[in-house]
Structure 1
């Protein structure tokens, strides 16, 4: 895993800082309190949020004083994929909001909870484990040494992922307890079911069902017998009723005939009276007809009609109506034409004025469009000039690539190739410098021995000592290594120039794409403006043409006004002539209408008289004959029916019918009682069957619960076996990890602390640490000196790293190793040994090591240097990144 970039906005002492972080070793240096630790805390806060803050701190503490919002963004690589996390903290008067987004190859994840879970799944470490594993804080370098064995066991188990086995064991125990609760509940349910089964079996449901079914059969047989006895009684009543109905029909016929006889006699009298009334009415109509014809003759004297002919009168009235309609239409037309011509003259005057006003407006708008087009034409000079500059810069970039050793498409690969070549040469240079330091140390040590003449420890002569005997050879080797280093530094400088040129070409390629996009934007802008100018000028031409047309139409309207006024006067004179003719015709029409009314009335009286004659002949007289015949027929039928009816036979039939009905009522009551009992027994049978079904269901439920309880017991046993498996596996892994960790700890401490004082270290299964001197004496690690404890702690931390690497086999790349002031407790003799430890960690797969130190030797040896400076006036920190070639 590797941090690639950190962006801090108003986070603690940083206002707006963006730092690119490289693989390898990066050294941070600066004055105390400048913000080095805050920068590291920004990385951890981006990943774990509030969980990464020191105890007692809250989210609002990360916001710079005077600000209400802080944003931290971290870009990192992990397992070959790119990730980006952004956390934002905003403080309000009553609350603090916390938003976070994690961008992954599978898409974004939002909100603190889901993001924190995703980070833990990604690294397989929670916040505490990540910080304890990756971060050796300033001042707590002895944390693993001073911890109690149980705390040390918890810390190391968490780092080595053994804590998961505890969680799995606890989860399995929780699962087992849950299953036991379910089993207990089902056993309680089973007991209740068994109790229900016993209660149902005690009711002897089968015997009850047999008794009810037997009684139902007996009742069914008796009801069938009753039905057989009731049927003949119903037949006897039906036959008596049929005979009674026949006799009753005779009585009804007599009554009907008597009623019909009375009605016929009444109808005959009414028809006779109707004939007398009609004859009187006919005589009245004759008198009225004579009066109407005399009145009509008087009215016709004032008209052109000479006879009392209704049709002639109607014909003349229709003729006058047609002429009046013609005159009315002609008058309406004349009125319309007068109004039309006068309105047309007024409209022509109004339209002419409006057309002239519209023409003035159109000409003014056309002038505005031409002026707007000229202004836009002037504005085009700026984008056209910018387009020329862009095209010129594009040409320069194309010429530059034409003169280079690569192309725009291949420039990124070219840059990476040159950077790789530079890194290889830097590695060779570092190897030479390491050899030079070792040889110089040997020469210095030999020189010191030669000056003293004897070894300060053993007192022996130094002439034959290994370092003294090769003294001159080592001095020649130092001079040769210096020359080789100078040559290699020149080669590095040349390669750095090539890399810088490659990076500049890559930037130019990116600039080229940006300029290409800008060129297209400018072209579209110029093309759009040109089209707008052309449209404005075309619109101005169209407006001027429309204004000319409106002025011509206004002149035409003014010439038409005198002609329209003359036509209006002519139409008014024609209307006056038509009015005179209409008044004469209306006078004649009134006289004809009065004559028509009287003649129509006389004609109606003629028709009424004829109608009465027709009714007397065709209706009244035949009806009188009809009702005389009907009277004779009814009287004959009435006499015959009265002779057929026998009153004694009716009484016998009624007694026979009533006796059968009484006996049928007794039998039906008995049948109803039996049917009621039958319904009760059927309900009882249904209840018994339901109870039997319930008994069957309870038995099935009992069997199912028994099977479930047996299966749950099996699962509980499996859970207990799984719990024991996790316990055994944890103890086995802990034992193996302790043995391996002890071996790695001794190897790394020997690498850091090259002395003959201590034989080895021992880490027991209970995580107790013991140091053994060469003499065999056992020491507690806290008895070591401050520098020795610091080296021991670093060795233990790095041993855990190495164990993680070997155990995970690359499936979860290790986080960066952060060393915050690791030299606090080290003397000059052991500070240089840290380089060997860092190299070892890089070989183990730690992609990135970040070192915070004031030691110039360590800072100068880093591949990247980051200086943290603080402005004394604002207390705000700033970052300066410097790339070095001292350590790959």
Structure 2
């Protein structure tokens, strides 16, 4: 696999980054915290999504202050091009994936889960395997060495896909145990079935079935005999019942005829009473008709009299008004009355419209009056408020003038304090603004002096110790330098030389202490002047703030004066407008009085019209009632005639029913009825007894039939048990065979895993020694031993074994890198030609390495490239690694925006591996 291009937008510290990667060794270089590792995290996240985030969440990868992020990765795998694109978006407090697409030459895969599954299948490793093999993340360089042997075994087995064989072996073991459990259960079932079959066969079911069937036939014959006799008794009962029912029907018909005869007599009498009542009603209605005629005549005369008293009686209303209405002269008919009503209602409608118009005018003028009065009150109230606000502003104007005087005085005081602070630099060699730099420079000089003073003190201590030791040897008669006898020794005078050296070192220490004290005084002076600079800066900021506040207060004072004058002018205008409104209300009040007078006249005219209308409506009611009375009289006459016809028909029906009753009474035979009752009682007694007997026999037959069914069910159950017994025996044979096969399969998977692990251990040990030899040529280590449980042992040149944890920090880190590279080579050889390995990625591998070990790391990187690793990406801040680069990418972070930017650099012409 080869990474072609990685593009990031709003991903952590990257705003917008686009980088293409080539074959060979690519060094991503930059200072710590510049965002180098984030670039590789983007590649890892593009491949595996949220599984690459450890314990972090999706919202952690979106740049602070942004709501969306995008990651795009293009790579080539097994000579096929692929592209992954992931988009994230903040929704509230959580980030979600809005787009996740993997484009292949043949299809497009969507969805985070499906894309991760496809990538895992392509690379033959999930996210955990990826970081254990190809991606050495920052701080995890010693991960394999610090792991326990069992954890290391699991990691490497998973990478070499041996875990699948263990999974298959466990599955085979589970299957074997499952088959054993099922087999034991089936054997128990088999034994139980055999016992059940034996119990059924001991019951002699066929002989018992024959006995029950013979008994059932005898009971059936007896039932058939009784049922024949019961049928004869039923026929006798049916004939007797028919005679009695006919007798009952005749008797009921006679009773019905008697009731109907009585009913007809009652109806004839009732109808005659109705005819008499109808005659009385006709007389009453005629009397009411005459009363209504008299009332109508009286009302008509009153109306004519009223019209004659008003004038000629031809119109209602003033003669000189266009609304006068012509009225009919006579009120002889209902049509005349209705015509006069229509005319009066029309006039009333006109007056009502005029009345409504006046009311609307009065209402509108009243509303206008209230509106004007309200506006006048509001104008006066607003004028009062504005005058009160003007008074408040005048008070604030006085406060503003006092505040301006105070701030002008404060500005003067600040100017004096600033000038006093600047005067502290007069006569000093440090210019204003340079105190901080001068202090830092002097502090660096002091640091060098203190360091040198420490070295001198250590030398003095060493010389004093040497002198003391030499004096002790000299007192014993030995040479103070070589420890040999003093006689003829050329080194006897060495103590004097050391004392001179000690004196020189003490003089140098005194000079350095004096220089340190002088530097301390210079640092104090610089610190004092730096404090003066801070005072000037602080006072200048205060002066600027006070000046700004003073300017704002002056502007506020001017605005308030203008506002105060404007408020008083507005108050005068409002009072003038209020006076105009009140004058307008007086004119409106006079117009309202005139309209109300006219309203009263119209109401009086309408009262006269309504009184006459009431009399006219009564005439209409009288005419309607008279017509109704005429109809009632006619209806009553017609009903009397109908009732006469109805009674004639009823009398004829009454005669016919009396004739029918006499005929039925002649047919009635009491002796025949008594004989039928006797036969019926005898038949009912026999049927009651024979039914009890038949019921008893049927119950016995059912009992025998149930017993036969039970025996037949047991026979069927016996046959089913025999069939099931045969099936279970066959199944037990199959399960025993399957158990043996599962046992064999379990052993085969275990042996295959052990064999493959041993072969991989041998190959990994060989590759690890080859890699380690390249790194540690001519060094103190001879070889590495790797046992079947992946326990590692390092042997020194003298054959002494060491645990990897006994190595120094740098050697342990380099050893672990060698192990990771050996595992990478093993996996590459194992799948060569089918699924090429992903790039080898090293994130800050020099964290635990000194300069010498960094050189060995460069050798390791070069060796992996020479062994055919197509693409190696190393992230580091170490300049020494730059020499191993085929491609150099520099990462810098903008201090203002806190965003990282990429820049492709030129690699050096000579790699560190080949330099002297």
Per the normalisation by structure 2, the TM-score is 0.47
Q: Normalising by structure 1, what TM-score?
A: 0.48
